[in-house]
């Protein structure tokens, strides 16, 4: 089964925590990722090479990998340079996600160059978009997966109500695997995203936010199961591609 097929109609949990928080450690992130997968999530999204390596050693399920790195004078911060792409690839992930907005990257690299590097390592390229035009250009450059991740987080999209089901519908017209990410708070939001045409959903804060210092993986598993049960009840995940 291909990686997109394994994610179709399903939940991906974004396991990211504030830097310096009680759970900001590779072992803790890996444990929470394993709990999410055991509870029925189809994959995880993880930030930083240290966390990614720990998660890769713990689970076999698909990982969406990113590096969050700020460069003075530039807006993109999600895997914004080719060096960051290489760093993510070194951890053995199946998917590399990156800022695919039309904003200038710190190293002036192109999406086409990102895709070539990612494909060369045998991984899939995922474009974190804010607008439909981001998805259109990314698809023209060969990106495999389009996501709504950055809608609401750029100057042109600030204030848009999330989840952006409209952006989901627009991205699906470009013929790529489409993910709704950002603003999914309830299982009902997730079902609505799939109904709008998303192939999969990514949920972060609703599952990994406000965790207790001890045994956070138990809460992650409990919240993941609630989302998975809701998606199954709606018939999601029964389709194949």
Distance of CA 78 to the CA centre of its chain: 11
Of 79-88, 132-141, 142-151, 226-235, the poorest mean pLDDT is in 226-235
146, 168 contact by CB (below 8 A): no
Mean pLDDT across the chain: 96
pTM of the model: 0.96
Give the model's confidence band at 232: pLDDT under 50 very low, under 70 low, under 90 confident, else very high. confident
* Cβ-Cβ contacts under 8 Å for 155 (sequence gap 6 or more): none
206, 184 contact by CB (below 8 A): yes
pLDDT for 83-125, tens place per residue?
999 999 999 999 999 999 999 999 999 999 999 999 999 999 9
CA-CA distance, 206 to 222, in Å (whole number)?
A: 11
More confident: 235 or 181: 181
Q: What is the CATH number of domain 3-233?
A: 3.20.20.70
């Amino acid at each position: 089964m291909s990686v997109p097929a394994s994610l179709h109609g399903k939940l991906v949990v974004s396991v990211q925590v504030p830097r310096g928080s009680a759970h900001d450690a590779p072992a803790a992130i890996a444990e929470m990722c394993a709990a999410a997968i055991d509870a029925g999530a189809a994959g995880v999204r993880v930030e930083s090479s240290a966390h990614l390596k720990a998660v890769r050693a713990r689970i076999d399920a698909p990982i969406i990998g990113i590096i969050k790195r700020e460069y003075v004078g530039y807006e993109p911060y999600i895997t914004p340079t080719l060096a960051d792409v290489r760093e993510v690839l070194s951890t053995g992930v199946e998917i590399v996600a990156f800022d695919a907005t039309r904003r200038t990257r710190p190293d002036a690299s192109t999406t086409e160059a990102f895709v070539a590097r990612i494909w060369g390592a045998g991984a899939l390229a995922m474009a974190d978009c804010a607008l439909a035009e981001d998805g259109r250009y990314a698809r023209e450059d060969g990106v495999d997966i389009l996501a709504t991740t950055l809608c609401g987080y750029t100057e042109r999209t600030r204030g848009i109500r999330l989840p952006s089901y409209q952006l989901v519908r627009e991205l699906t017209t470009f013929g790529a695997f489409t993910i709704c990410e950002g603003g999914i708070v309830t299982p009902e939001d997730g079902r609505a995203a799939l109904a709008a045409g998303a192939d999969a959903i990514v949920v972060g804060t609703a599952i990994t936010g406000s965790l207790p210092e001890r045994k956070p993986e138990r809460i992650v598993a409990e919240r993941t199961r609630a989302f998975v049960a809701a998606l199954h009840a709606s018939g999601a995940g029964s389709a194949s591609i």
